[in-house]
Amino acid sequence: MAYQKGLIRLDKAIADQTGYSRKDVHKLLSKGQVLVNGAAVRNFDAKVDLEQDIISVNGQELALKKYSYIMMNKPKGVVCATADEKLPTVIDLLPEAFRRRGLFPAGRLDKDTEGFVLLTNDGQTAHRLLAPRSHVPKQYTVWLDKPVEEGVEQAFAKGMEIPLDKHDNRPGRAGARIKCSPARLERTEQPQVVRVEIRQGMYHQVKRMFASMGYLVVGLRRDSIGGVALDPALAPGESRELDAAEMDMLGIGK
Ligand code: URA
């Protein structure tokens, strides 16, 4: 069959999103137990449009989706990558049901940062959420090496300059500085713990912003992305699909 935009293999879609193996799906197809829009499909190469077609197996409709959006509570010590030679990755932590969907982290947290990581297989949405001009707010809890002094809120709100890093992918000579967009800093009851909201995603941004003010970040957790809060029911390492309200808040599916 010629490639048609939006169509994907039926056997792969079922195997990737259910407990059936590809072999199981082929058996079901051979027996005429897979229906697409009410008609039995027996062809192993059949393609479907997961946004429109209704697929059922043994009379039960399957909720197959074209794209997945997963919220994970990343623990410390795990890297935001799809593969790593030495360290566990966020992909290694996914439960079996999410494993074969081709997910990747939309944005990175450092190895020693914990909290909300969004995983998806929707490149366009990932790109939109990460693009600097989309200004999606991200909130963090930050543990510092000493109490926050007067004036730090104002420095964050004004938009501070930090030393350029080679990971910023910007031209600049040694000693050059880069301007951060205005950010919000909120104190908590603990003088060494603050909440910060940034709308950019530069390399080690929160740590570099505090370093430029003379503070060392000793702990960092991302609590929300685009107004969607990390589910407190998720223990470190656990993940779940975003619900409809959360997808809506992130402008997914609009
Ligand atoms: N800022 C950092 O410094 N590290 C992270 O992991 C996220 C934001």
Rounded to an integer, what is the distance from CA 45 to the centroid of its chain?
31
Quick one: 168 and 58 in the same domain?
A: no
Quick one: 154 and 46 in the same domain?
A: no
Question: How many structural domains compose the chain?
Answer: 3
Domain span at residue 245 reads: 67-136+230-254
Helix (H, G, I), strand (E, B) or coil at 194: strand
Quick one: 82 and 52 in the same domain?
A: no
Q: Is 110 a catalytic residue?
A: yes
Q: Is residue 1 part of a domain?
A: no
Catalytic residue among 110, 165, 168, 231: 110
Quick one: 170 and 209 in the same domain?
A: yes
Res 232: pLDDT? 98
Please, what are the averages of pLDDT over each run of 10 residues along the chain (254 residues)?
Answer: 70 90 96 96 95 94 92 98 97 92 94 98 93 88 97 95 86 83 97 96 94 97 98 98 96 82
Kindly report the number of other CB atoms within 10 A of residue 109's CB atom: 23
Res 101: pLDDT? 87
Helix (H, G, I), strand (E, B) or coil at 89: strand
Q: Is residue 2 part of a domain?
A: no
Among 18, 34, 62, give the residue marking a domain's end. 62
Quick one: 142 and 220 in the same domain?
A: yes
Dist. CA 106–CA 117, nearest whole Å:
7
Whether residue 206 has its Cβ less than 6 Å from ligand 1:
yes
Res 246: pLDDT? 98
Strands 239-241 and 69-74: antiparallel
Quick one: 88 and 75 in the same domain?
A: yes
Quick one: 50 and 153 in the same domain?
A: no
Token look-up 């039960």 returns 60
Whether residue 15 has its Cβ less than 6 Å from ligand 1:
no
Among 42, 62, 82, give the residue marking a domain's end. 62
Task: Compute the 3-state secondary structure of the chain and give helix, strand, coil in percent, each to the nearest 5.
Answer: 25, 25, 50
Which of 63, 65, 71 has the alpha carbon at shortest distance from 90? 71
Res 5: pLDDT? 64
Q: Is residue 240 part of a domain?
A: yes
Which of 94, 81, 63 has the alpha carbon at shortest distance from 234? 94
Among 28, 47, 62, give the residue marking a domain's end. 62
Res 80: pLDDT? 97
Q: Is residue 211 part of a domain?
A: yes
Quick one: 49 and 86 in the same domain?
A: no
Domain of 74, CATH number, reads 3.30.70.580
Tokens at 136, concatenated: 């999606």
Quick one: 141 and 207 in the same domain?
A: yes
Res 2: pLDDT? 44
Quick one: 46 and 160 in the same domain?
A: no
Q: Which residues of 41-51 are buried (b: 16+ CB within 10 A; e: fewer)?
A: beeeeebbebe
Res 133: pLDDT? 76
Res 57: pLDDT? 96
Domain of 147, CATH number, reads 3.30.70.1560
Domain of 55, CATH number, reads 3.10.290.10
Whether residue 205 has its Cβ less than 6 Å from ligand 1:
yes
Q: Is residue 23 part of a domain?
A: yes
CA of 32 to the centre of ligand 1 (A): 51
Quick one: 17 and 77 in the same domain?
A: no
Ligand 1 atom closest to the Cα of residue 109 is: 6
Q: Is residue 3 part of a domain?
A: no
Res 239: pLDDT? 98
Which of 186, 212, 208, 213 has the alpha carbon at shortest distance from 197? 186
Dist. CA 16–CA 10, nearest whole Å:
10
pTM equals 0.88
E-assigned strand segments in the chain: 8-9, 34-36, 39-40, 47-48, 55-57, 60-61, 69-74, 104-105, 114-120, 138-144, 161-163, 177-179, 184-187, 193-198, 217-225, 228-229, 239-241
Res 253: pLDDT? 75
Dist. CA 139–CA 197, nearest whole Å:
4
Quick one: 131 and 143 in the same domain?
A: no
Q: Is residue 242 part of a domain?
A: yes
Res 3: pLDDT? 47
